[in-house]
């Protein structure tokens, strides 16, 4: 792609802006670990929520969505659309509990909910496991997307592109180490505006290159016809629900997505009950109400606001480049061939924004695990605030270098997505219930993590089950979830509960619903438990309708199905009104303060 001097000026100005934000928040971040990792727990909902959205909008996301559309049409996105139920559950059943807990990281939760050596082991192991290998896999696939983009845009090989990406990581790491979470949050907000603007412009350009929306739909139907699929028939690329007899999404695989994966599997950004950088943002919010609204805004923007510019560009790429060997590159090909020259520098800046927002968050989040939950907890408990901030900066550099190694040895973005889904299968149940059932103990979590890893790896290595094959992916998920759940439940009942003092301290701090905490609640009559349980469940279910109504309504309108689109949108609006009314009953107006 030919870039002019003006394009490079736009890119340079983007870097200057980000560095300026980093230096602006430098003095604030250096005050304490709490400021560096949580922004002093004083972040407004709109900034925390926008940062979550920006983080999940990485350079890899539109490329992966394009690959999904090439493989399964619009319905291919059920690989991530199924997570709506998990996200909305986090909003209404867990966001306020996280904020009440007062921990610095979700890993620290282990030692306020559990006790003794098992709790300490769980905290240390999770800090290293999620902070280094898992975090570096996430960083690796984000880097890989940027490598693909730079390789095609600049016409360089993978090694050269990786070198350029290392330079980008270095700049991002500099901003993150200088400014802590406040710098990450503010740059996220700026970056989200840039990248949303540019993906919308690219979607318009892509549809125009295909001859306009009407012509694009005609060509997609012709593509269906060439595959023997009647207009609107099962398996059409334009269908929102997959053909359950198809090779890529048989009925059992779709069932696993919508009935098992969303609650049973740990996955970054969609952890059952919240975790990782989502928990970090909830913990950084001003109070529990800001925590809830921030997470709600994240879910709405993530699933309803962002997908269609990506999907439309992917559909255009399917028509324009039907025979691509690497479908994920279709998105980049549209940008190179059909984006107006005047927008190329801004589009490159948009990709840089998408890339850097995710990298900055994962570096800050991963460093928080290594410093707060390993270094300070086990290595140097007497360390002062300045030492911890300095170690946090070095931890950021370490993760930067590790992620580069992972990137060089990674080939597929969606393959990495599936790897994490499978290895985290079965752990979700214990993550959800640990807040609502007093009987869960540290061994419950330890056994769940160990079993999930061993079973999933054994199925893929010893039994040669290929998770790239949809049916085998479903079988691996079902077997892993079934065995893991049976094991951790058995371990829970065979091991003693946590000591009364630990349970009572946790109950007093978080005061969850009395249901599941009866024996503890009976001893603590002075603690008023959360009584909004049924209202929360109602909002959770209504929230799912809100998301799918607005998601499908927008898509139907864009594709010319006006009556269906209006119907879906009306359903979404009514659901949103219901949630607003319920939250207003609980004190929505106080968020204006």
3-state secondary structure 246-286: CCCCEHHHHHHHHHHHHHHECCCCCCCCCCHHHHHHHHHEC
Q: Given a cut of 70, is residue 413 above it in pLDDT?
A: no
Distance from C-alpha of 480 to C-alpha of 483, rounded to nearest angstrom: 5
Report pLDDT digits (tens) over 278-305. 888 999 999 989 999 999 999 999 999 8
pLDDT in tens, 429-471: 999 999 999 999 999 999 998 898 889 888 888 888 877 788 8
For the cut 70, the answer to whether the pLDDT of residue 371 exceeds it is yes
Nearest-angstrom CA–CA distance, 98 and 554: 33
Q: What is the pLDDT of residue 589?
A: 47
Q: What CATH number is given for 5-423 in this structure?
A: 1.20.1730.10
- Report how far apart, in Å, the C-alpha atoms of 6 and of each of 3, 20, 200, 346 are: 8, 21, 21, 10
Residue 39 CA from chain centroid, whole number: 20
pLDDT digits (tens, 9 = 90+) for 514-552: 999 999 999 998 998 888 888 999 999 999 999 999 999
Digit-coded pLDDT (tens) for 37-67: 788 888 999 999 999 998 888 777 888 899 8
In this structure, which long-range contacts are made by residues 574-577, counting pairs with CB atoms below 8 Å and at least 24 apart in sequence?
575/542, 575/543, 575/545, 575/546, 575/549, 576/546
| pTM, full prediction | 0.87
Q: What CA–CA distances, in Å, run from 280 to 276, 502, 562?
A: 6, 23, 40
**Per-residue model confidence (pLDDT) at position 36:** 77
Distances (CA, A) of 548 to 92, 157, 303, 533: 17, 41, 8, 23
Identify the three-state secondary structure at position 109: coil
Closest CA relative to residue 400, chosen from 91, 176, 203: 176
Question: Helix/strand/coil (H, E, C) string of 346-414?
Answer: HHHHHHHHHHHHHHHHHHHHHHHHHHHHHHHHHHCCCCCHHHHHHHHHHHHHHHHHHHHHHHHCCCCHH
DSSP per position, 136-174: HHHHHHHHHHHHHHHHHHHT--HHHHHHHHHHHHHHHHH
Average pLDDT of the chain, as a whole number: 86
């Amino acid at each position: 792609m030919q870039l002019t001097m003006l394009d490079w000026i736009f890119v340079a100005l983007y870097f200057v802006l980000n560095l300026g934000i980093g230096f602006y928040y430098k003095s604030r971040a250096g005050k304490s670990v709490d400021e560096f990792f949580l922004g002093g727990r004083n972040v407004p909902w709109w900034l925390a929520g926008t940062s979550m959205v920006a983080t999940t909008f990485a350079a890899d996301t539109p490329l992966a969505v394009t690959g999904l559309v090439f493989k399964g049409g619009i319905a291919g996105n059920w690989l991530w659309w199924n997570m709506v139920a998990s996200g909305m559950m986090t909003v209404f059943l867990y966001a306020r509990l996280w904020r009440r807990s007062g921990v610095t990281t979700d890993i620290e939760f282990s030692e306020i909910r559990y006790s003794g050596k098992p709790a300490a082991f769980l905290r240390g192991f999770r800090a290293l496991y999620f902070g280094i290998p898992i975090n570096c896999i996430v960083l690796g696939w984000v880097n890989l997307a940027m490598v693909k983009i730079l390789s095609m845009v600049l016409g360089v090989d993978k090694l050269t592109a990786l070198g350029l990406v290392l330079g980008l990581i270095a700049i991002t790491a500099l901003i993150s180490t200088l400014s802590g979470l406040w710098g990450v949050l503010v740059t996220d907000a700026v970056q989200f505006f840039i990248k949303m603007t540019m993906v919308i412009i690219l979607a318009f350009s892509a549809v125009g290159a295909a001859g306009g929306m009407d012509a694009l739909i005609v060509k997609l139907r012709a593509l269906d016809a060439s595959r023997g699929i009647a207009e609107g028939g099962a398996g059409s690329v334009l269908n929102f629900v997959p053909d359950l007899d198809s090779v890529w999404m048989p009925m059992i695989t779709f069932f696993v997505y919508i009935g098992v994966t969303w609650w049973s599997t740990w996955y970054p950004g969609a952890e059952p009950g919240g975790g990782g950088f989502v928990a970090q943002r909830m913990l950084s919010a001003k109070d529990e109400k800001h925590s809830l609204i921030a997470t709600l805004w994240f879910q709405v923007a993530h699933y309803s606001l962002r997908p269609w510019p990506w999907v439309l560009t992917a559909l255009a790429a399917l028509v324009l480049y039907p025979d691509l060997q690497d479908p994920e590159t279709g998105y980049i090909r549209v940008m190179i061939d059909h984006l107006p020259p005047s927008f190329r520098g801004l589009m490159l800046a948009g990709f840089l924004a998408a890339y850097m927002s995710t990298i900055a968050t994962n570096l800050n989040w991963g460093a928080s695990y290594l410093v707060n939950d390993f270094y300070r907890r086990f290595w140097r408990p007497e360390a002062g605030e300045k030492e911890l901030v300095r170690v946090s900066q070095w931890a950021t550099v370490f993760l930067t270098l590790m992620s580069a190694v992972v990137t060089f040895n990674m080939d597929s973005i969606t393959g990495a997505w599936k790897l994490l889904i499978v290895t985290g299968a079965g752990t979700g149940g214990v993550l959800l219930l640990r807040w609502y059932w007093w009987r869960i103990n540290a061994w419950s979590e330890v056994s769940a993590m160990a079993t999930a890893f061993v079973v999933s790896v054994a199925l893929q290595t010893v039994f040669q089950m290929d998770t790239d094959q949809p049916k085998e992916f479903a079988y691996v998920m079902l077997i892993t979830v079934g065995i893991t759940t049976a094991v951790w439940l058995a371990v829970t009942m065979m091991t003693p509960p946590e000591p009364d003092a630990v349970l009572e301290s946790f109950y007093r701090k978080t005061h969850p619903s009395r249901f599941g905490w009866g024996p503890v609640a009976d001893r603590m009559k002075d603690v008023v438990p959360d009584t909004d349980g049924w209202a929360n469940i109602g909002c959770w279910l209504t929230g799912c309708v809100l998301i799918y109504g607005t998601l499908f309504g927008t898509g139907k309108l864009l594709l010319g199905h006006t009556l269906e689109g209006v119907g879906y949108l009306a359903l979404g609006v009514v659901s949103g009104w219901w949630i607003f009314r319920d939250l207003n009953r609980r004190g929505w107006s106080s968020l204006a303060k």
